[in-house]
Structure 1
Amino acid sequence: MSTDPLVLDFVEWIAREPRSHAEVVATWRTSCPRLTVWEDAADLGYVAREAIAGLGLCIVVTATGTQLLRDNGRILS
């Protein structure tokens, strides 16, 4: 299965550090109903919402998202 390059970019961006829900919404917001990058990543199980002490509600990469990055040569060291 081929992954949308924008979804891959999004998961890689999230993998760098947990991002607040507000930051994700502000950064990846779009007025195009067909461009649902972060919703697609969540639906596919690549990212998830998680409460992190001191940070609040964040978006983090799941084990499935980490595997996606590995499979596509994008895992960060």
Structure 2
Amino acid sequence: MVHTASLEARPDPAAYLLLQFLAWIADRPRGYTETMEAWRTSCPRLPVWEDATAGHLVRLEAGDATTGGDTRVLLTEAGEALLAHA
């Protein structure tokens, strides 16, 4: 039997995945197409893109040469702050 206290003490794997996603975005310019290919999932337990957009942690911006003209995915101030405090 698993005690409730031990479940509450366990870190949420989805939170770690979200931080990994934010670090990946922060690493270098990322295009929307590249981001979707790397991070889109049909698993309802791992909605990284959905969590990041709903939480206003990433934003979209018109593309440029760094993304081959593809829409850019960037961290918002909230995304940068969350990553900095992780």
Fold match (TM-score > 0.5): yes
Q: How much has 1:53 moved relative to structure 2?
A: 2.6
Q: TM-score, normalised by structure 2?
A: 0.72
Structure that is richer in helix per residue: 2
Structure (1 or 2) with the larger CA radius of gyration:
2
Q: TM-score, normalised by structure 1?
A: 0.79
Q: What is the CA RMSD across the aligned residues, in angstroms?
A: 1.8
Residue deviations 1:8-43, cap 9 Å, x none?
Answer: 110010001121100010001222133210110111
Structure-2 residue corresponding to 1:36: 47
User: What SS does the aligned partner of 2:21 have?
Assistant: helix
Q: Distance in 1 between matches of 2:41 and 2:64?
A: 29
User: What SS does the aligned partner of 1:35 have?
Assistant: coil
Number of residue pairs aligned between Structure 1 and Structure 2: 71
Structure 1 unaligned spans of 5+: 73-77
Structure 2 unaligned spans of 5+: 1-11
Instruction: Pick which of 44-53 and 17-26 moved more.
Output: 44-53
Could you tell me the percent identity over the aligned residues?
Answer: 41
Q: How much has 1:59 moved relative to structure 2?
A: 0.6
Structure-1 residue corresponding to 2:3: none
Residue deviations 1:42-68, cap 9 Å, x none?
Answer: 111111111133333011111111111
Question: Which 4+ residue blocks in structure 1 deviate beyond 2 angstroms?
Answer: 52-56
Structure that is richer in strand per residue: 1
